[in-house]
Amino acid sequence: MTSVTRETIDQWKSGMRGAVLQADDPGYEEARKVWNATVDCRPGAIARCAGAADVISAIRFARQNGMRAAVRGGGHNIAGTAVCDEGLVLDMSTMRSVVVDPQARVAWVDPGATLADFDHEAQAFGLATPLGINSTTGVAGLTLGGGFGWISRKYGTTVDNLLGAHIVTADGKFRRVDADNDPDLFWAIRGGGGNFGVVTQFEFEMHPVGPEIYGGLVVYPFEQAAQVFPRYRDFIEAAPDELTVWAVFRLAPPLPFLPAEVHGKPVMVLASCYIGQSADGADAVAPLREFGQPYGEHLGAMPYTAWQKAFDPLLTPGARNYWKSHNFARLDDGMLAVLNDGLATLPSPECEIFIGALGGHVGRVPVDATAYAHRDANFVMNIHGRWQQPADDQRCIQWTRGLFDALTPFALGSVYVNFLTQDETTRVDAAYGSNYARLAQIKREYDPDNLFRGNQNIRPAQ
């Protein structure tokens, strides 16, 4: 990387519509923060792009000056790839427009939009696209890695619903990509991460969901997990696509429907979302209440937007986070002993293990239809280390890694790319799976110099 002077940056930024921040500018310190507080990068400049023209200018400036480039959407990625030391950050966070055509059931979404932004507009028309579970997550990063959420069993991954995109590639060229225009590049951005350019607009197919769904939580004592776990597994394997139930293992938070005496005790939480006819919701989730004797439950009809925000209080920005993730075809009973040890040694009350249930439509899409390759992953587990103080870094990271290692014998060996941390470069092949070779060829065509390498990097084929 070359050294870029303030004068050079000042000359360039005069032609930008959005602001360009440097280290001594007001707002720089706040702009360099991301969701995960373990990430502490100091970029040489942060370009708050206001549109595609700014993106084109910023990419060309980075190339001409040999600067490392990072791209920020929601800034939520666990690995902190939204920022970098010394280089240029293309900050898309002010580009948050969401436009919905309810007749065509299509949405056009800017790269700085969050899930909350998207859902706010889409639910005005009773429409949705499969997205994540935390409303502060950025649509862009989630989509480029594949994306899944509460309605994926019915409607597939996020990229299964991507109709097209506008993208600026490493040569500074603006492109419309879809099934007919640059189809290889369109294929690659559906799961290949931010390796191929900067998306300035996404076009999504939408589906009738809400505005009301049925769901909520059933909280079991973990000591009943030997009974509840296999019943949950069998139940979700036979469940209709309209119903999704995830399992969460943690210490019971102070939820208002739980008795005070169980707060802080190990629990297995079944979180459900049913998007069929609301009148059928109670019957659809009723068996979840009968797997044992729960500590408490909170089930009922609610706005879809409320359920999309239900886990936000447990995922607020500013905490220190470290994740390790596995994909599973099936949940083995032997996993319970490992989970028991994990809960017995939790280094922080904020740590948790969640198992996201996929299958359904996700598994019926061919592996090579999109760059997202993990169609056999019926369950995605994220071991979520979360704590507040830097002094606890080592023991919380060691706990996460140890639990991950102990669960490895039960796993497929693949991993969801958006759950990879910054120290897992050796798992890149596992993240892109059988599609890696094709991705590397496309990378060579569109980014031969690997400008976009601040990610789980796909190196250009030789």
- Provide Rg for the chain, Cα atoms: 22
Per-residue pLDDT of the chain (462 residues; tens, 9 = 90+): 457 888 999 999 999 999 999 999 999 999 999 999 999 999 999 999 999 999 999 999 999 999 999 999 999 999 999 999 999 999 999 999 999 999 999 999 999 999 999 999 999 999 999 999 999 999 999 999 999 999 999 999 999 999 999 999 999 999 999 999 999 999 999 999 999 999 999 999 999 999 999 999 999 999 999 999 999 999 999 999 999 999 999 999 999 999 999 999 999 999 999 999 988 999 999 999 999 999 999 999 999 999 999 999 989 999 999 999 999 999 999 999 999 999 999 999 999 999 999 999 999 999 999 999 999 999 999 999 999 999 999 999 999 999 999 999 999 999 999 999 999 999 999 999 999 999 999 999 999 999 999 999 999 999
Q: What is the CATH number of domain 8-91?
A: 3.30.43.10
- Candidates 313, 243, 297, 234; CA nearest to 272 is 243
Q: What is the CATH number of domain 212-419?
A: 3.40.462.20
Q: Is the peptide bond before 43 cis (omega within 30 degrees of 0)?
A: no
First to last CA, the chain: 22
Distance from C-alpha of 418 to C-alpha of 204, rounded to nearest angstrom: 20
Distance from C-alpha of 121 to C-alpha of 133, rounded to nearest angstrom: 17
Domain with CATH 3.30.465.10 in the chain: 98-208+434-446
Domain with CATH 3.40.462.20 in the chain: 212-419
Distance from C-alpha of 112 to C-alpha of 92, rounded to nearest angstrom: 5
Distance from C-alpha of 272 to C-alpha of 235, rounded to nearest angstrom: 12
DSSP β-ladder status, 69-72 and 88-91: parallel
Q: What is the CATH number of domain 98-208+434-446?
A: 3.30.465.10
Its pTM stands at: 0.96
Domain with CATH 3.30.43.10 in the chain: 8-91
